Amino acid sequence: MLYLLHELAKQSMAPFVSFSTWGAKVFSDPFSPYAYIPNSRHIAAGFELLHRLGKDYEKPAWNITEADVGGKTATITETLVEERAFCRLIHFERSHSKHPKGDPIVLIVAPLSGHHATLLRDTVQTMLQSFDVYVTDWIDARMVPLSKGAFHLDDYVQYIIDFIHLLGPNTHVMSVCQPTVPVLAAVSLMASNNDPIQVKSMIMMGGPLDTRLSPTSVNGLANQKSFTWFETQLIHRVPPRYPGHNRRVYPGFLQHAGFVAMNPDKHAQSHYDYYLNLMRGNDMEAETHRKFYDEYNAVLDLPAEYYLDTIKVVFQEHLLPRGLWKVKGQLVEPAAITKAHLLTVEGELDNITGKGQTQVAHQMCSNIPEAHKQHYEVEKAGHYGIFSGRRWRTKVFPVIEEFINQAEKEA
C-alpha cells in the first residue's frame, strides 16, 4: 500500500514538476522578456529547485566514451556480454590496450544496495587507463517480471561464480562495499571445490565482512530492529504500472529516504547552495550539483529475498566471520583460498563501513601467503572517497594498479 501511495503522490506532483520546468525557462531564457524583470533570477532559481526536488530520476547512462590508455586516447564501446534476470554483465571495450599483449582483466562487482552501478562511473573511467574492465550492472527489481522467480543472496554468489567462469582464470575481481561479502563467498567456494578457474586477485573496498567491528549507524539499525520488523515495515509489492508488478521489494524511495536521513543538514545546505549559485549565475557549480544528484537520487528496488538474506546473514547473525554461512548447502570457508592475492581498502572517515570490517579478510583468508596480502587505509577519505573523486584517482588507484600488476607477475 505504501508503494502505491508513493506512486500516486508522484503522479499528482507531475503537473507541478512540468510547470516548474516551464517557469524556470520563462524567467531565464535570454529570448524571454520575463528574464529581464526585477528578481527574474530569483524566480527562475526557485522554479528550477522545485523541479529538481520533485522530478523522477531515471537510471543515468554510463557516458564513458574515451579513456587515456598508455598516453593515447582510446575509444570506449559499452558491450553487453551476459544478461541474467537481475544483472547485466557489461564490458567496456577499448580501441587499444596499454600493453601489446593485452591488459589484466578486472571484474568490478558493483553494489546492489540502492544506487545503480553507474555510481561507479569514476571507478570504471579510471580503471580503464590500465585494465580490461567488466562491470556487474544490476537491474531494478521493479522491472523484473514475477515470472523470473526470486533472487536470494545465494543467487548473487552464483552470479559472481558464473561471471568469473565466463571471463576465465586470468581475472582479478574488485568488490566495492556490499558485494565484498558475496565475492569472498564466491572465491571461497571455487577454492573449496578445486575449481580449475581461480581469480588472480581480490581487491575488496569498504565491505562489511564483519559488522561487529567498529559498528556504524548503519550497522546499529540492523541490530536495533528485529528481522520481522524489516520484513513487515520495509518490504512492499511493486505497483501495477511496472513489469515487476506484485514482486516483493525493498523500494528505492525508502532507501533514498534513509540515505538522506543520515546527513539531512548536508543535503539541505547543498540544495540551498544550488539555489544561490543559480541566482548568481555560477553555472559550473550548479552543473556539479546536478550531476551529483542525478546519480544520488536515482535509486533502484532490491529483491526482498536478497535484502532480507543480507540483513540476516551479514548484519544480524554475522554468519561469515563466525564460520557458519552456507551457500546452497555448502559451508563458505575463506581459509580454502590459497592462490589469490588480497588487497583490502578502507577509508579513515568511513561512516558506512567501519574500520576493520574489510581488513578482517586477512584473518579469514588465513592460507593466503602474507607476502600476497596488502591493506591500504585512505587518509581523510569517507566511504565514497575510496572509489570516487580526487583521492580515489590520486591515492587509491595507483595502489590498486601496482597491486594487480604485481599479482600478474607472481601468478
The answer to whether 180 and 204 are in contact (CB under 8 A) is yes
Tell me how far apart the alpha carbons of residues 351 and 369 are, in angstroms, rounded to a whole number. 31
Q: For 146-185, what is each residue's pLDDT tens digit?
A: 999 999 999 999 999 999 999 999 999 999 999 999 999 9
Print the domain residue range for 95.
66-223+302-410
Question: Both 168 and 29 in a single domain?
Answer: no
Question: Both 81 and 132 in a single domain?
Answer: yes
The average confidence (pLDDT) of the chain is 92
| Banded pLDDT at 355 (limits 50, 70, 90) | very high
* Final residue before a domain boundary, out of 56, 74, 97: 56
Q: For 170-224, what is each residue's pLDDT tens digit?
A: 999 999 999 999 999 999 999 999 999 999 999 999 999 999 999 887 787 788 8
* CA-closest candidate to residue 111, choices 387, 346, 312: 387
Q: What angle do CA 160, 404, 72 make, to 5 degrees?
A: 105
The answer to whether 294 and 53 are in contact (CB under 8 A) is no
Question: Both 48 and 153 in a single domain?
Answer: no
The answer to whether 386 and 175 are in contact (CB under 8 A) is no
**Residue 97 CA: distances (Å) to CA of 61, 72, 129, 160, 297:** 24, 10, 9, 25, 35
pTM, two decimal places:
0.92
Question: Both 48 and 81 in a single domain?
Answer: no
Question: Both 168 and 311 in a single domain?
Answer: yes
| Banded pLDDT at 277 (limits 50, 70, 90) | confident
Sheet of strand 248-250: strand arrangement: 236-237, 248-250, 302-303
